[in-house]
Amino acid sequence: DIVMTQSPDSLAVSLGERATINCKSSQSVFSSSTNKNYLAWYQQRPGQPPNLLIYWASTRESGVPDRFSGSGSGTDFTLTISSLQAEDVAVYYCQQYLSTPFTFGQGTKLEIK
Amino acid sequence: QLQLQESGPGLVKPSETLSLTCTVSGGSISSSSYYWGWIRQPPGKGLEWIGSIFYSGSTDYSPSLKSRLTVSVDTSRNQFSLRLSSVTAADTAVYFCARHVMTMIRGEGPAWFGPWGQGTLVTVSS
């Protein structure tokens, strides 16, 4: 199984400031045959189901604000929120889909400082 | 707008079988672009993929649950279902159903999940 490890486990950022969440995979999730990174990011607000933010490591899902961006390749990935809003308080998860079983990171809890 | 809704008992006894159904509305389950998946989240913990199914009945299961798991689909009712046998307290979790989107790259299967149902808490206890 590909193990996904996120850092930090929790993060407190001031409103309007940048938030950065990292995700590392135990093996590369890049496919040279498709030239794509098989990684997605989700946001889970309190009491809600997860919501897809980004797939292919950097493609924003329709309707997701452009303050959310994804980057990285191979084994190291980053989710960045450029200017934190109050509604961004949530737990964020990365997920690899290069191979089954599909696996998620343990989550990063984002709070307001 | 596609919506998914889980249903089933909220309490299951140890050693018995957990059964849940996901009803899909606002779209057809018989699409060649999607699988349909189950994911669970123990209280206060992270997400674990359980298994996914294509409308034809083709399945993909987590190896850690495969021996106890059956996922089935009923296209006439636009539903898919989960059965997990011989449950223990470790199976207590919120169970989510979700559309499992395919990459649409030839030869590849499902990838990311969205949208998700609201989830249903299943507690295993006597």
Nearest to B47 among A38, A48, A93 (CB): A93
Per-residue pLDDT tens digits for A61-90: 999 999 999 999 999 999 999 999 999 999
**What pLDDT does B106 receive?**
86
From the CA of B8, how many Å to the nearest CA of chain A?
A: 17
Measure the CA–CA gap between B35 and A109, rounded to whole angstroms.
Answer: 29
Q: Pairing mode, if any, of strands B93-102 and A108-112?
A: unpaired
At A53, list the tokens.
């933010």
Contact predicate A4/A25, CB 8 Å: yes
Measure the CA–CA gap between B65 and B87, rounded to whole angstroms.
Answer: 11
Q: Write out chain A residues lying below 8 Å of B59, CB-based.
A: none
Chain B residue with CA closest to A99: the answer is B111
Q: What does the mean pLDDT of chain A come to?
A: 98
pLDDT (tens, 9 = 90+) of chain B, 126 residues, equals 999 999 999 999 999 999 999 999 999 999 999 999 999 999 999 999 999 999 999 999 999 999 999 999 999 999 999 999 999 999 999 999 999 999 988 888 999 999 999 999 999 999
Query: Which positions of chain A have pLDDT values less than 70?
Result: none
